[in-house]
Amino acid sequence: MKKYNSYVLGKWTFGEGEGTPLINAINGQTIGVVSAKGLDLEAVLQNGRDTGGPALRKMTFYERGLMLKKLALHLHGLRKKYYPVSHMTGATKSDSWIDIEGGIGNLFAYASLRRKLGSKRYLVEGETVGLSKGGTFIGQHILVPREGVAIHINAFNFPIWGMLEKIAVNLLAGVPAVVKPASGTCYLAQEMVQDIIASEILPEGALQLICGSAHDILDFVTAQDVVTFTGSASTGRMLKCHPRIVSESVPFNMEADSLNAAVLGPDARPGTEEFDLFVKEVRREMTVKCGQKCTAIRRVIVPEDLVDSVIQALSKQLDKTTIGDPSVEGVRMGPLVSKAQVEEVRDRINILARTAEIVYGTTGEVRPVGEGCENGAFLSPVVLHEKAPFKHTQVHETEAFGPVTTVMPYKSIEDAITLTRMGKGSLVSTIVTFDPDIAQTFVLGAAAYNGRILILNRESAKESTGHGSPMPMLVHGGPGRAGGGEEMGGERGVKHYLQRTALQGSPSMLAEVTQVFQPGAQYKDPGQHVFRKYFEDLSVGETVITHKRTITETDIVQFANVSWDHFYAHTDITSLDGTIFEQRVAHGYFILSAAAGLFVDPAKGPVLLNYGLEECRFTKPVYAGATIGVRLTVKEKMDQEKRDEEDIAKGIVKFLVDVYDETGETVAIATILTMVKKRQQD
């Protein structure tokens, strides 16, 4: 019998005893055993803190992003080997694609954040806060990696996606992970982790895997750790109240199964594209992963006069769904993960059927396509009709975690919003409408009860990823029953694993500590023009103070003619009464252009190009006769990798452009982005 080992303390280990059988969802046969009994879980967590954590924290965000990219490319090359294993969980080819390639896609997505997060081991967050009148005492927030481990307690439905979408974030943040997949499908996660460990792309201790029961793992968490949980709301609430979680104030992110809704707008009548899209979306969410998705549509909310039309159209679509062995051509829906899950779903259907009528499908036996499937965990799609959803609230409280949904009527869009909110917090709701007023009314009424809202219509349908697809750069989570947490969300998700600390001190001191120039800090003499220096040789705070230029009326008129910007304040002095301007004012963009003429060193050198502006503001009117100068300061540096061997080695330098007038006041301020060559290129 094959043993599925855990990877802990730098080695593959099987727990004590004979282990718990792992069952093939298609045919009911045992594929192996798993056990984590006897593992020293306290030592496992400490290994992550002592070994994986320091190794990751030595790396910059940029380096960790490159590590994720390398891992993503490695796993993408191996992706096909995971599909046969995924089939045993009950997943069809399209289900497996979501799990496997969707998970790898998360690694790619988070790797791409490396350019934004930069080449430091910490993040500088937000703007400087002035704390004194004289400007010698300021505040600034920084974010540093937590010095614990991320403990991920995952659900059975997406063994790979659930693992990769979480570790992509904590690894980028510089925090090691201990992954605890659901035992029933842990063999798929283990298959991939074997390849991750063998690749040696991650430093030792950055990723550990526990296959099997680990009930007491939370007994050993500390205040520096982060715990994430995906699964049932009841289990999540129990874990969230663990004494150690409470006493140590351990961050606990919960993503729970929720009663997600799909609302058919009153404008989406039969025969419209929106009506067809709605039915298709509901059918897809019922059958993908056999409805075993935390984001699946459990409540179908439709105008009362369209209930029969929706049920008929949905039934027709479901009739086309072939159930059976996922490896058989033409099969659209596989089994649930286990027979125990089938029985649980049947029990929940029976609860719903106390007040609702089953209008499609059956809780009885089905005849799946494929040899040896008679002992598999198969169940028919089931559609119920709840005629009185305001009176019979069980439909808003009971979730059948399978291919099950309930259709219910509404009279007005306000009623639809109320029904959506009765789910007490959802991961996602969908509104299908082509009417922007209906969409806005629904969004503003339902957003507080949803982590995500999909507005679906003919314009977005072609490229929409669908109701059930959380995206890496958007938050995944929801309030109330959905757990009250957030996962992914791009940079937001990374910050869950970072400690925010407020720094206070002088501008010069904070500039040195953060390596981001702070207004009011002392300028450094670069020794030569900063455009003559290579990336490695530039230091934050180095400043060029330019010669000055007096602005004339001719400058203003000529810029208006060249730019075609004839706004009255620049060209018509007779229209200035009642405005803030005393006389003809120079264009803000002319002042910025004139500043460039002052600070640019024109000869060929290490600066390759200027490709953008950040935080450009014009703070004081400039009139003819004013004299301007520029302070050009190295604000921040960010490394950049070469795309290939032929590429030029370079980095990104942000320069602060401070334009001031003859009184010394700033009239314009901006940050320019430049690409600067590295010395090693020559």
Specify whether the CB–CB gap between 547 and 600 falls below 8 A: no
Same fold across 3-123+136-256 and 510-681: no
Strand partners, 670: 657
What is the structure's pLDDT at 649? 87
Range 510-681: architecture per CATH: Roll (3.10)
What's the rounded Cα separation, in Å, for the pair 562 and 341?
Answer: 72
pLDDT exceeds cutoff 80 at 253: yes
Predicted local confidence at residue 16, as pLDDT: 87
Whole-angstrom Cα distance, residue 297 to residue 309?
A: 18
* Mean pLDDT for the stretch of residues 514-527: 91
Task: Choose from 201-210, 459-468, 520-529, 580-589 the range with maximum mean pLDDT.
Answer: 201-210
Asked whether the predicted pLDDT for residue 617 surpasses 90, the reply is yes
Of 58, 73, 68, nearest to 172 by C-alpha is 68
pLDDT tens for 165-210 read 999 999 999 999 999 999 989 999 999 999 999 999 999 999 999 9
What is the arithmetic mean of pLDDT over 371-395?
92
| 630 band by pLDDT with thresholds 50, 70 and 90 | very high
> From residue 495, how far is each of 181, 382, 488, 603 by CA, in Å?
23, 41, 10, 42
Backbone angles phi, psi at 328, to 5 degrees: -85, 135
Find the helix or strand (DSSP H, E) in which 61 lies.
Answer: helix 61-78
Provide the pLDDT for residue 214.
Answer: 86
**255 is annotated as an active-site residue:** yes
pLDDT in tens, 15-34: 888 889 999 999 889 999 99
Output DSSP code: residue 2.
-
Whose tokens are 């229209």? That residue is 575
CA-CA distance, 294 to 296, in Å (whole number)?
Answer: 6
4 by DSSP, 3-state: which?
strand
Tokens 């874990």 sit at which residue?
239
The CATH fold of domain 260-482: Aldehyde Dehydrogenase; Chain A, domain 2 (3.40.309)
Least confident among 4-18, 435-449, 640-654 = 640-654
Stretch 516-541: mean pLDDT: 92
Spatial CB neighbours of 256, under 8 Å, sequence gap ≥ 6: 229, 230, 231, 232, 233, 236, 294, 481, 482, 483
Q: What is the value of pTM for the model shown?
A: 0.89
Among 489, 505, 507, residue whose Cα is nearest residue 497: 489
Burial of 550 (0-12, 13-18, 19+ CB in 10 A): exposed
**For residue 681, what pLDDT is reported?**
54
Residue 575: predicted pLDDT: 86
Beta-strand (E) ranges in 58-215?
123-130, 138-145, 150-153, 177-180, 207-209
Sign of CA dihedral 445, 447, 453, 459: positive
Three-class secondary structure of residue 103 per DSSP: helix
With 90 as the cut, is the pLDDT of residue 496 above it?
Answer: yes
Q: What does the pLDDT average to over 331-340?
A: 90
Could you read off the pLDDT of 449-489 as tens digits, one per residue?
Answer: 999 999 999 999 998 988 988 888 888 999 988 888 888 88
**pLDDT > 90: what percent of the chain?**
73
Using a pLDDT cut of 70, give the percent of the chain over it: 100
* Three-state helix/strand/coil letters over 400-458: CCCCEEEEEEECCHHHHHHHHHCCCCECCEEEECCCHHHHHHHHHHHHHHECCEEEECC
Q: Which residues contact 271 (CB under 8 A, 6 or more apart)?
A: none
Look up 616 and say whether it is catalytic: no
Task: Identify the active-site residue in 186, 290, 294, 373.
Answer: 294
Average pLDDT, the chain: 92
Task: Give domain 3-123+136-256's CATH superfamily.
Answer: Aldehyde Dehydrogenase; Chain A, domain 1 (3.40.605.10)
Predicted local confidence at residue 616, as pLDDT: 92
Q: What is the pLDDT of residues 54-104, one digit of tens each?
A: 999 999 999 999 999 999 999 999 999 999 999 999 899 888 989 999 999
User: Which residue among the candidates 165, 186, 191, 255 is catalytic per the annotation?
Assistant: 255
Locate the domains of the chain by residue range. 3-123+136-256, 260-482, 510-681
Across the beta sheet with 11-13, what order do the strands follow? Answer: 11-13, 6-8, 207-209, 177-180, 150-153, 226-231, 252-256
Per-residue tokens: 25: 């969802």
